[in-house]
Structure 1
Amino acid sequence: MAKTSGKAQSRKIVLTLDMGGSKTKAIVQEYPEGKPQVLLMDSEVADVARASVEGIDTEGIPESRAWVGVGGEYYVLGALARHQFRGISQLKELKYELAVPKVCGAIWLAKEKLGLENDVSVYLNILLPPGETQDKVQLETRLKEVFRGFETPAGRMRVRMTYYNVASEGSGVFFHRRRTSGGAIPTSMFVMVGYRNASAFIVRSGVPSRGITSDLGMSWLVNNFVSKTSGLSPDNTSIVEVLVEAGASCDSQVLQKLSRKRKPDEIKADGESMSKALLLVRDEYWRAMARWLRSRREDDVCELVFCGGTADYIRPEIDAYFEKEGIPISWHGDIVIPDIASSLGNRMTDVVALHEHMVLEFDRVTNYERSQSLFDAPTVKPDSVTDIEVKANTSTRLVPNYAPRPVPKEFLTMSDKI
């Protein structure tokens, strides 16, 4: 790795970024010895005039006042975009097209969290759907141009991109599984199901294929649910949280939280009608997902690796279906989420694992010997490992408890070389 020239060397950071449809998720650290930190921002973006950013409050946590000026265009990000400027997630836009302001915003947020100066060097890793990774050269060119100087709440920032990498969604889970298995991976299909889309790629002889992407993310289910109910908007950010809480049984009492009625009997009726709608929507969603997987899975695939928060949501259906098919399932590559990323659970699996992989690669290339783990082992242990009962589409069945198991001693040991 080349060192930054000049009298005062800019500090180096490793930034691994997942621009999800519901959250922009990132892991950042100073390299080599800094401890990783999680950066989270809501996914909304809004383009605004310069006069708009001049009036933004300079107080408060950085996540609530993020904006960037890029080439004379100004963008507000996250909670600020949603609450003050009616920003939207723009799920129909390619993630690549929104990448530049989001990357610049993440670098500014990293600067604030790590106490950096306005000049930084970055090892940048970005997760994109397989169908968008071919845009990586155009994105690199655009980022290099923008990094010469862009505006932020802390003034003009300049970034030296020491390293640049774009990886397909699911790559972090793949790299972790390859390392922990000693490279002996059976022919597998890795399936990442997030809020915006679902992606898949096949690994043969340890080599991943290019992969494909569909629109079968959680947003597909939410839009279908909203179309079958009254008084709801897909822009309501609490819908997903309530649907997840309602579980596989589509608990009507939980779904009452989405009712806009005032009378108790009307609220109860809303919950019951939403429960019926959600049961049907789950069934329709899973059938669509199963058709897509059948069309993409090849005959020699002997294992499926599922990851992503939406995959967890339909886990009962996935387990039941592939149990009948006789195909083993691996969940999230058996990765245990460290405490710093535990707030989002398995939604952080891919970005955490890719960050770990890239830091290991930098250590290998620079011959850096790391004496301790990059991430601290989780401190919260599951209360129980007994099976729990959930109701799937048509019948009641027992499925394993999905609480994380204790972390293996060898997990994230940084002296492990690839």
Structure 2
Amino acid sequence: MTKVVYHVLSEIPNEPEILFMEPDLLEVSKESIELYESRKIGNPCPENEAWVKLGQEFYAVGFLAQKCFDARSNLEDLKYEKAILKVLAVVGAIAVKHNLSAQLNLSLALLLPYGEWEDRKKLEFGLADALSNFYFRGQHFKVILNVFQCKPEGGGLVLTRSKKLGVKFNSMNIAVLMLGYRDISSVVFEKGVSSGSSDKYGLTWMLKNIKNSTSGQNLTNLVKPVHLSGSSPAPKHFKSLAKSKKEEFRVEEISRLVQITAQSRKEYWNKIRDWISVNISGYMDLIIIGGGTSKYFSKELKKYFSSTEISWAAELERDVILAFDLPPRKDELALRFTDIYGLFLYLQNTVYNMTNQG
């Protein structure tokens, strides 16, 4: 998902809000957009009906791309290349939701996998140019990018934790480990000096194993039952995935899914463990662990780092639940927002300091 924490500054005091959109993105023709507009009924929320015109090209973003144009996320694409269009869609959606002017000032902070973080300057220049002249659902926007911050994934968590540690941070060995849907990444701080790495060994690595060893399954439908089954896959978790109409075949399908999930989980943990041993080596005073997949392997991670202090999502999960009134176990949504929320607080503080100094 595209996950956003935002705050609209206005004369009337208001609180930060969250917004999330499906990750899909697809270039479409002008005629396709015109046909969609001529046939639609009702007035969907802007984040669910997001289309952008940039230059002479049209793009459907999020739920609209998925539902009406059959877009499918390509997990091999670079995040930063799609980030520009997704930011345009998000800014447009927020502006429409809150009846904002088409000429806006924007302070923006983003997270990228460590392996793509080197492209942050290209991303900043591309964003500033695109934001200055684009259309969202036919409305022309001119947005000035006043502040831009880009950190590696896990940056929001480490910024939060470093604030608590103060001057001690630069005398410690600290690692941030992020386990996500697409990537696994780490940033290691040794006496304040950072290094990092990332690879495409997110949860999809395991889901692809299951998909390739079973019949008729897809990654999207596998996510929830696999996640809910945890370390003990059982038939009850996979009943909804059975395709056959004959009961005896359904039982076989479910049994196969349970077996393959348990096997794939072990293989995936071995892959993660080996990756960690290579990329987080040596003595660490503290391990900060985050990402939507981290709870899925919480027992294994606790055992692996048994001699090291662990900070789970920099203790931000409850803050997110309280700030946005989220159900504690709503699809681990709060956990998935912790890194972004930590970065948001950092950006908010930066903007506040700049405003007061100005």
**TM-score for both structures, normalised by structure 2:** 0.90
- Any residues of structure 2 matched to 1:208-223 within 5 Å, and which? 209-223=194-208
2:312 paired with 1:331:
yes
Counterpart residue number, 1:300 = 283
Q: Which residue identity lines up with residue 70 of structure 2 in the other structure?
A: R
2:51 paired with 1:67:
yes
Q: CA 1:183/1:226 → structure 2, altered by over 3 Å: closer, same or farther? A: farther
Percent pairwise identity: 26
Give the superposition deviation at 1:353: 0.9
Counterpart residue number, 1:230 = 215
Give the superposition deviation at 1:341: 6.8
Give the superposition deviation at 1:130: 1.1
Separation of aligned partners in 2, 1:322 and 1:163: 38
Counterpart residue number, 2:135 = 151
CA deviation profile, 1:66-114 (whole Å, cap 9, x unmatched):
0101121111011111111121111101001111110100101111222
Counterpart residue number, 2:175 = 189
Give the superposition deviation at 1:361: 2.1
Contact between 2:47 and 2:89, CA under 8 Å: does it hold in 1? no
Contact between 2:173 and 2:189, CA under 8 Å: does it hold in 1? yes
2:344 paired with 1:361:
no
Counterpart residue number, 2:188 = 202
Separation of aligned partners in 2, 1:183 and 1:262: 64
Counterpart residue number, 1:311 = 294
Q: Which residue identity lines up with residue 26 of structure 2 in the other structure?
A: A
Per mean C-alpha deviation after superposition, the further-off stretch among 310-319 and 26-35 is 26-35
2:15 paired with 1:29:
no
Q: Which residue identity lines up with residue 198 of structure 1 in the other structure?
A: I
2:225 paired with 1:242:
yes
- Any residues of structure 2 matched to 1:128-143 within 5 Å, and which? 128-143=112-127
Give the superposition deviation at 1:208: 5.5
Q: Secondary structure at the match of 2:238?
A: helix
Q: Secondary structure at the match of 2:345?
A: helix
Q: Secondary structure at the match of 1:245?
A: helix
Q: Secondary structure at the match of 1:199?
A: strand
Q: Which residue identity lines up with residue 349 of structure 1 in the other structure?
A: T
Per mean C-alpha deviation after superposition, the further-off stretch among 310-319 and 87-96 is 310-319
Q: CA 1:189/1:286 → structure 2, altered by over 3 Å: closer, same or farther? A: same
Contact between 1:246 and 1:252, CA under 8 Å: does it hold in 2? no
Contact between 1:341 and 1:348, CA under 8 Å: does it hold in 2? no
Q: Which residue identity lines up with residue 302 of structure 2 in the other structure?
A: D
Contact between 1:29 and 1:36, CA under 8 Å: does it hold in 2? yes
CA deviation profile, 1:244-282 (whole Å, cap 9, x unmatched):
112210122111211112233332222221111111111
Which structure 2 residue ranges, 5 or more long, are not aligned?
none
Give the superposition deviation at 1:328: 2.8
Q: Secondary structure at the match of 1:238?
A: helix
Q: How many pairs are equivalent? A: 341
Q: Secondary structure at the match of 2:166?
A: coil
Give the superposition deviation at 1:128: 0.6
Q: CA 1:174/1:75 → structure 2, altered by over 3 Å: closer, same or farther? A: same
2:27 paired with 1:43:
no
Q: CA 1:218/1:183 → structure 2, altered by over 3 Å: closer, same or farther? A: farther
Give the superposition deviation at 1:183: 4.1
Q: Secondary structure at the match of 2:60?
A: strand
